[in-house]
Structure 1
Amino acid sequence: MYGHPFDDDNADPDIWANRIHASDREEVLHQLRSVIAGAGNVWSHEYRFMRADGSAAIVSDQAFIIRDEAGTALRILGSMRDMTEQRELEQKLRESQKLEAVGQLTGGVAHDFNNLLTVILGNAEELSELLREDSQLRQMAEMTATAAARGAELTAHLLAFARRQPLQPMVSDLNRLVQGMEGLFRRTLSEDIDIEFVRCAGLWQTEVDPGQLEVALLNLMVNARDAMPLGGKLTIETANARLDEEYAANHTEVIAGQYVMVSVTDTGNGMDPVTASRAFEPFFTTKAAGKGSGLGLSMVFGFVKQSRGHIKIYSEIGEGTSIKLYFPRSHLAASAIAPAQSEEAVFGGTERILLVEDDDLVREHLANQLTSLGYQVLQAGNGPEAIGILWETTGVDLLLTDIVMPGGMNGRELAERARQFRPDLKVLFTSGYTENAIVHHGRLDPGVELLSKPYRRKELAAKVRRVLDSDS
């Protein structure tokens, strides 16, 4: 039974009790003894029972107590049913429902919340520029901008966990991506932490969003750093990996095949199995109050899953933690990664832009920013109004539109209608939450340009300029 040999001639009366999981044994035996000592004839309980291979099965035990006329228990007849697979399926269903609930909640607030943060962040930046001569007031403006940016990060992390962030994957060489992040990683770690990079020769290509991978690895770096307050060693390793059918059968959502693996390993405090099992839950943290939001690892988890990958955590108390990210192998050639724009460079222009935004505050703020960059700005509060302006106005170079809007026409539908009579019109979408208008299976539709709210002035300027200068 459960891999244990059965010898009817040399049956140990305590063999059943000895194979109950140590953490459950006292409670199970106490309940059974209570029933035997009482007048009941039926006992049932669910607990963990150890298999011969050392793993624990979840069993449902049903027992019937046979008593004599005086009510004294004479014999117990019982049977165990293995509930492990059923309970695992139920757990997966609960996780799926939790994920959907978080996604609906986050999506519901992300659009409006990011609209507000766009105005707050933008105005704080402008105040910071205007108050260059007043250091105290400028510092207050910069603090406001920093707080708004942190609010945006929280929303982004929740969207990432719920697998509802828009990804822009590119066929990439993870060795090159990690090498490009080396300087950032070294600045993140304290001097008493040694960092080692172990790069696999002949590493396969994979399709991944470079920007989100950087954020994910940075989150893992920060967690590793915090787990080594007295210093230690951190290792980043890449490797080719094959997850076979047996592994896939034991891990939900894993498809057997070839993967590219990148891992972050520390020599820190480590985690016990219970803590490790909850590490990817949103808002779960073992850090002191104010030291962490509990969203870092959940963001990494969501990003990997949305990238059709797999994530595995290994940890032992006093030994450290290793978190491995697996991304499916791609047989396509690596994509060219555009060079990063200079942080100080802000380029404008004189083109005519039709701005479509249903939120009055955001529309006014965005129009002011575009005007300050030299552009001619036309404004509309919804899709039908924008179509009317396009019919009556010539020389519109760019349609800059929100995605989620009232009026029976979202941003994607507006762009499609506009291009029916303005086929050369360039389009830039902006939104705090995209829903499914331009994102399918977690990825931006081909050819779509998106500026996610909230954004800084230089990000707006760079994105508008890039779309206007593009050939498509």
Structure 2
Amino acid sequence: MNASPVGGKVATLIASMDWADSPLPGPDAWPQSLRTAVDIVTHSPMPMLLLWGTQLCQLYNDAFALLVGSNHPRALGQPVDSIWPELKPFTDPIYAAVLQGEVRTFNEKDFNLPREDHWAKVWLDLTYSPIRDENERVAGILVTAIEANERREVSAVGKRAEQELRDSEAHFRMAIELSPAVHWTAEANGRTDGESQTERWRQLTGMHSLRPDDDWAQLVHPDDHLPTLDAWQLAVSTGRPYDAEYRLRMADGSYHWMHARALPWLDAEGVIRQWFGMTEDVQNRRQVEQALRELNEHLETRVSERTQALAEVNLRLQNEMQERERAEEALRHAQKMEALGQLTGGIAHDFNNMLTGIIGSLDLMQRYIDAGRSSEIKRFSEAAVSSAHRAAGLTHRLLAFSRRQSLDRKRLAPNELVHSLEELFSRTLGEHLQLRLQLAPDVWPVNTDASQLENALLNLIINARDAMPDSGVLTIETANCELDATPEGATLEPVKPGAYVMFRVSDNGSGMSAPVLAKAFDPFFTTKPIGQGTGLGLSMIYGFAQQSGGQVTLQSRVGEGTCVRLYLPRHLEPLGDITEQHASAAPPMAQDGESVLVVEDDPAVRMLVLDVLDELGYAAHSAAEATAALALIEAGLHIDLLVTDVGLPGLNGRQLAEIARQQRPGLKVLFITGYAEKAAERYGFLAEGMDMITKPFSLERLGSKIRDMINLS
């Protein structure tokens, strides 16, 4: 075949056109199937239009150019919808069906077609057929258009129309030959009439022909026989299109999957005159589909197996995690018991020493009293009181370490506090050590418990003193600082970024090794000889700093000294006047008619408080628990102050105070407590007109606190 199509003026125009502005490539780039189709079209005397490719670009012959009219030659190579947009509602469903392999036929369809200077109505017989490429895919549409105007005129031109029709049918058959499917016909009752493509049938099945008297249904696979035959009979009886897939026996006895389709040819009354059908071998497609199904099943099996394996691994990991958790829990329990043993051992050691002093002194006092030697018991009472105070100090340090100590927070100026303790620090250090103060000007105020801060600084002074037995310099510094991260040398607990006041206590003493430094904050850990240290100093400072919202850091090297930094949050409210309150040596006496209600479940403590009140001249009333106290209040007992323990059986002291204040608004309340977790933060526990005193306390301090509470306005 020549490089460019031939056959008339349109063919010459196609060969000479510039295809740059067309979606269709030039003739040199056409596939063989397109060249064949164009050759058939251009040699046909009947109007034929070829629509090729996904955009259905137009190629037609000289006869069809007359129908195109004024749209020729610009229609060549252009998509059909760009030239005939007004026909889309009619042609779109036709194109969609033919591109799926179907054939559409329309008789005497009228169109308004453009001419050189006018539009003319033209009657056409149209046939739309699929054109397949070398890969047996539908690549285009062949449109045969026969003018029916002459049929509607005189019969003299009938023979010419019939000849054109025969020519059209001939060319249509040539177009059909491009299709890989077998085209066949059947009578109206569904019986095949033998009109089929013999050569194509032989290529498809290996059989020479399908004779009219052959029962094609007998060639269908037994498993597909009834469904296929039922579908064909349904189409014949209803006139609906036939569409089925089934396995057909080949000449060699094997079976191939076939796809058969058929359309009825109806007369003017809608009666079926004949069936036109096509049968296509779809064995390759079915094999691909089967392979895909098998692959999918294989993948599903692999996925299922992999999922099962992952489930088993997950179960094994869960079991290992459970075993690890049990081992970790056992380790934590062992560590907890070890820590508890160390803690209880340290407490038992110190408390046994203190209790020995208390019990022994009281026992000797009792013997001396029985022997009438009461004048000699003072030294034993002093020893008992000293041991008791030491025991009280130990409990305070334990609570401070655990952050359960009740903090009596007040605004204070750091520099003024350090200056007020300078003489005490100097005496503690001794004459062989030098004290230096480096206090920055305008240090921010802090809001903390002054006594706890004093104890923390004093503990650091004592530690520094013991680290410099011969000589040395101890420096106390204060400074404002902004922390944006946890400072170096801090414990594991982080500090919030913000403004802090730093207290720095440093010495040039013996220092600590890395193992000692790692345990420095542990309770009861000490490097001092037995009896010279409890091991609670640094742990108390650590607990106090954490409870205050701050941090403590520790840095030390052997032979170079130690540096401890205590960070307390800046108090942003204005700093008021700081006044020192000193308890008088003797508590003030009660005024006439003042009455106090004491609620305490411990008989010994209750007795002591009542004796103090009695000595000071108060009218004292007592109750062992909250219910009895409320009964006295409801009975109308006059009281100026409610003194109650926090940890009462039943209703606690805080609940008692709330109920009592509902009946006596403005009633002043003084809480006494040895330890209460919720009372550790005073300002989250106390309301207006309330205060707290911590056990153990001196009787003088209790008397002064009672007087201060009653005097509150």
Partner AA of 1:416 in structure 2:
E
Residue 424 of structure 1, CA deviation? 2.5
1:85 alignment counterpart = none
Are 2:156 and 1:156 equivalent residues in the alignment? no
1:348 alignment counterpart = 589
- Select the structure of larger CA radius of gyration: 2
Are 2:424 and 1:184 equivalent residues in the alignment? yes
2:16 alignment counterpart = none
Residue 335 of structure 1, CA deviation? 4.1
Pair 1:278–1:248, CA change in 2 (3 A): closer
Distance 2:489 2:553 in 1: 15
Residue 242 of structure 1, CA deviation? 1.8
Distance 1:181 1:155 in 2: 24
Residue 401 of structure 1, CA deviation? 0.4
1:221 alignment counterpart = 461
Q: Of 418, 433, 451, which aligns to 1:211?
A: 451
Residue 304 of structure 1, CA deviation? 0.5
1:70 alignment counterpart = none
2:409 alignment counterpart = 169
Are 2:609 and 1:366 equivalent residues in the alignment? yes
Distance 1:246 1:451 in 2: 34
Residue 170 of structure 1, CA deviation? 2.1
Q: Of 482, 486, 506, which aligns to 1:265?
A: 506
Distance 2:580 2:695 in 1: 22
Q: Secondary structure at the match of 1:449?
A: strand
1:80 alignment counterpart = none
Distance 2:384 2:476 in 1: 35
2:495 alignment counterpart = 254
Distance 1:136 1:189 in 2: 35
Deviations 1:148-187 (A, max 9, x none): 0100111111110000011122232211111122122122
Residue 374 of structure 1, CA deviation? 1.5
Residue 466 of structure 1, CA deviation? 0.8
2:551 alignment counterpart = 310
Matched-pair contact (CA < 8 Å) for 1:439–1:445 = no
Q: What do you get for the CA RMSD once the two structures are aligned?
A: 3.2
2:659 alignment counterpart = 417
Matched-pair contact (CA < 8 Å) for 2:510–2:561 = yes
Are 2:480 and 1:240 equivalent residues in the alignment? yes
Pair 1:335–1:213, CA change in 2 (3 A): farther
Distance 2:578 2:704 in 1: 16
For these two proteins, the number of residue pairs brought into alignment is: 358
Residue 231 of structure 1, CA deviation? 2.5
Q: Of 173, 185, 196, which aligns to 2:436?
A: 196
User: Which deviates further from its counterpart, 209-218 or 331-340?
Assistant: 331-340
Are 2:631 and 1:388 equivalent residues in the alignment? yes
Distance 2:473 2:382 in 1: 35
Q: Of 370, 373, 378, which aligns to 2:621?
A: 378
What are the residue-to-residue correspondences of 1:59-70 with 2, within 5 Å? none
Matched-pair contact (CA < 8 Å) for 1:200–1:237 = yes
Distance 1:444 1:396 in 2: 23
Distance 2:605 2:485 in 1: 51
Q: Secondary structure at the match of 2:506?
A: strand
What are the residue-to-residue correspondences of 1:72-91 with 2, within 5 Å? none
2:575 alignment counterpart = 334
Matched-pair contact (CA < 8 Å) for 1:239–1:261 = yes
Partner AA of 2:471 in structure 1:
G
Pair 1:339–1:442, CA change in 2 (3 A): closer
Matched-pair contact (CA < 8 Å) for 1:261–1:325 = yes
Q: Secondary structure at the match of 1:255?
A: coil
Distance 1:423 1:363 in 2: 25
Pair 1:310–1:233, CA change in 2 (3 A): same
Distance 2:540 2:683 in 1: 14
Q: Of 546, 560, 565, which aligns to 1:319?
A: 560
Q: Of 268, 273, 298, which aligns to 2:539?
A: 298
Matched-pair contact (CA < 8 Å) for 1:402–1:431 = yes
Residue 328 of structure 1, CA deviation? 1.4
Distance 2:707 2:590 in 1: 8
Matched-pair contact (CA < 8 Å) for 1:248–1:256 = no
Residue 354 of structure 1, CA deviation? 0.4
Q: Secondary structure at the match of 2:377?
A: helix
2:126 alignment counterpart = none
Residue 281 of structure 1, CA deviation? 0.6
Residue 435 of structure 1, CA deviation? 2.1
Structure 1's unaligned 5+ residue stretches are: 1-89
1:231 alignment counterpart = 471
Pair 1:362–1:245, CA change in 2 (3 A): closer
Distance 1:333 1:94 in 2: 47
Residue 257 of structure 1, CA deviation? 1.8
Deviations 1:241-273 (A, max 9, x none): 122247599963211222110011112111011
Distance 2:613 2:607 in 1: 10
Q: Secondary structure at the match of 2:504?
A: strand
Matched-pair contact (CA < 8 Å) for 1:282–1:294 = yes
Matched-pair contact (CA < 8 Å) for 2:599–2:645 = yes
User: Which deviates further from its counterpart, 441-450 or 177-186?
Assistant: 441-450
Partner AA of 1:391 in structure 2:
E
Distance 1:218 1:400 in 2: 33
What are the residue-to-residue correspondences of 1:86-125 with 2, within 5 Å? none
Are 2:274 and 1:274 equivalent residues in the alignment? no
Q: Secondary structure at the match of 1:378?
A: strand
Deviations 1:277-327 (A, max 9, x none): 211110000000000010111101000010010111111111111100011
Distance 1:139 1:278 in 2: 39
Residue 201 of structure 1, CA deviation? 1.1
Pair 1:344–1:157, CA change in 2 (3 A): same
Structure 2's unaligned 5+ residue stretches are: 1-327
Deviations 1:40-68 (A, max 9, x none): xxxxxxxxxxxxxxxxxxxxxxxxxxxxx
Matched-pair contact (CA < 8 Å) for 1:168–1:443 = no
Residue 446 of structure 1, CA deviation? 4.6
Matched-pair contact (CA < 8 Å) for 1:171–1:333 = no
2:671 alignment counterpart = 429
Matched-pair contact (CA < 8 Å) for 2:644–2:670 = yes
Matched-pair contact (CA < 8 Å) for 2:396–2:405 = yes
Q: Secondary structure at the match of 2:677?
A: coil
Distance 1:441 1:382 in 2: 23
1:49 alignment counterpart = none
Distance 1:392 1:364 in 2: 23
Distance 1:237 1:469 in 2: 39
Distance 1:444 1:174 in 2: 26
Partner AA of 2:538 in structure 1:
L
User: Which deviates further from its counterpart, 392-401 or 377-386?
Assistant: 392-401
Distance 1:98 1:302 in 2: 19
Distance 1:360 1:441 in 2: 26
Deviations 1:71-122 (A, max 9, x none): xxxxxxxxxxxxxxxxxxx9xx979x979x97xx99xx9xxx9xx99xx89x
Distance 1:336 1:309 in 2: 24
Distance 1:405 1:246 in 2: 41
Q: Which has the higher helix share?
A: 2
Matched-pair contact (CA < 8 Å) for 2:598–2:644 = yes
Q: Secondary structure at the match of 1:294?
A: coil
Residue 346 of structure 1, CA deviation? 2.1
Distance 1:218 1:248 in 2: 23
Pair 1:221–1:247, CA change in 2 (3 A): closer
Distance 1:247 1:288 in 2: 32
